[in-house]
Chain A
Amino acid sequence: MTIPDPGTWGAMLAILAMALATYLCRISGVALMSIIPLTPHVRRGLAALPGSIVVATVLPLIERLGVAAGIALLVALLTMILRRSELLALLTGMAAISALRAFGF
């Protein structure tokens, strides 16, 4: 017996499959950590995790998006260091990238 093709429901099923995959990602880290005992090692690993996620996300993106993106992120980072405001960091960063791209970088 063969499973019938998704047919007209294909798009809907694709969306549901995406939704399911994403929700599993959302809950599995939390579920996993609730069965892993919080030893000092695990605790230190968790403490290092947020910064690691941030750096591991951003660095390769700069590499892929180009020098202009790197400069814009630096501008945003400097703004954040000086003023501690995410909104200002966003504004200066996006102004920087728009300007750089407008000039053809």
Chain B
Amino acid sequence: MQAHHPCALTLGLGFRFWEAMSPEPKPQAPGQSVVEAAPITMGGMLLGLRKVSVLMPGIVVFAVAFGAAAAAKGMSLLETVLMSGLVYGGVSQLVAMELWRPEWTWGAIAGLAIVTATVNARMILQGAALQPWFAQYSKTLNAFHLFFYTDANWLIGTRYRAEGGRDLGVLVGAGLALWVVWVVATMLGYGLGALVTDPRRYGIDLVMPIFFAAMIVPLWRGRRGVVPWVVAGLVALVTAKLFDGYAFIIVGSLAGAITGAFRDDHP
């Protein structure tokens, strides 16, 4: 895998952070092993790395496309790398390129922040969906690893949980590896620039949608679970027709969750 080099770097980084975040297993009520209840291990991080490596080729091209777009917009390399490193949200970064300008007013900055929040609002629900898992870990650790929480992470974490996994290291390892690759590939794209003029032609815009669609298979729990999904899909379609932007994700998902919440009342 060509992503080997940056990944090795990530692991060292992740391991040190992990040690800093939780210096030692916290003493808890006797008879309750904290390691078993809320594990975060090196092995888990390696597993996360393996799981995320499948997504790497797509992510690399996505990041290259963003780097190229940023260069074309006249952003400096530092600004471009900072955006990838600090925002770390591909779709919102590409949308920001549409709104990027040479001169900034406070109003324009606030507007960009609001657009970014709407594009990334799906993260609110993705975080909520995995919160029962995160609740077993300290606030500091959660505040740290959530910085690296993305669509890819959420997909990996959700699938891993569905298979009965409990090791948060999987999410941390995947998130850190992806972050390093994302930032490095952004620089690459900034340098290559003109080479990726039309990412659409290679289907780059479909990378995340494909992973999302593929997720349906491991999430499948028989026909009973489908009704909330259908509601989510229909509400999202209608919302997308009525409003520009990405509000459809959060509106549709909430509709599906609410349907699921009240469905089993009258069996």
| CB-nearest residue of chain A to B79 | A11
| CB-nearest residue of chain B to A47 | B260
Given A10-B104, A80-B214: A22 and B92 within 8 A (CB)?
Answer: yes
Residue among A22, A53, A93 having the largest count of chain B Cβ atoms under 10 Å: A53
Chain A 77-101 interface mask (CB, 8 Å, partner B; 1/0):
1011100101101100110011001
Q: How far is the CB of B60 from chain A (nearest CB, A)?
A: 12
- Residue pairs across A and B with CB atoms within 8 Å: the count is 290
B34 at the interface (CB under 8 A from A): no
Contact for B261 among A13, A48, A59, CB less than 8 A: A48
Query: In the assembly, what is the distance between CA of A16 and CA of B110, in Å?
Result: 11
Query: In the assembly, what is the distance between CA of A64 and CA of B202, in Å?
Result: 17
Contact B58 A90 (CB under 8 A): yes
Interface size on A, residues (CB 8 A): 71
Interface of B (DSSP majority class): helix
| CB-nearest residue of chain A to B134 | A30
Given A30-B146, A54-B219: A38 and B261 within 8 A (CB)?
Answer: no
Chain B 79-122 interface mask (CB, 8 Å, partner A; 1/0):
10011001111001100100000011110111011101100111
Q: How far is the CB of B70 from chain A (nearest CB, A)?
A: 11
Contact B214 A89 (CB under 8 A): yes
Query: In the assembly, what is the distance between CA of A96 and CA of B191, in Å?
Result: 29
Chain A 32-46 interface mask (CB, 8 Å, partner B; 1/0):
111000100110111
B236 at the interface (CB under 8 A from A): yes
| CB-nearest residue of chain B to A79 | B214
Contact A55 B216 (CB under 8 A): yes
Contact A44 B261 (CB under 8 A): yes
Contact B261 A41 (CB under 8 A): yes
Query: In the assembly, what is the distance between CA of A13 and CA of B110, in Å?
Result: 10
Contact for B207 among A19, A48, A56, A94, CB less than 8 A: A94
Given A6-B105, A49-B257: A26 and B149 within 8 A (CB)?
Answer: yes
Contact B260 A49 (CB under 8 A): yes
Given A56-B249, A76-B214: A15 and B128 within 8 A (CB)?
Answer: no
B147 at the interface (CB under 8 A from A): yes
23 A-B residue pairs with Cβ-Cβ distance under 8 Å, sorted by A, are: A6-B106, A6-B109, A10-B104, A13-B104, A14-B112, A19-B83, A24-B117, A32-B128, A33-B128, A41-B262, A45-B257, A49-B256, A51-B219, A52-B260, A54-B229, A60-B252, A69-B206, A89-B211, A90-B54, A90-B211, A93-B203, A94-B58, A101-B200
Which 7 residue pairs across A and B have the least CB separation, nearest first?
Answer: A48-B260, A52-B256, A10-B104, A56-B252, A29-B127, A45-B261, A60-B240
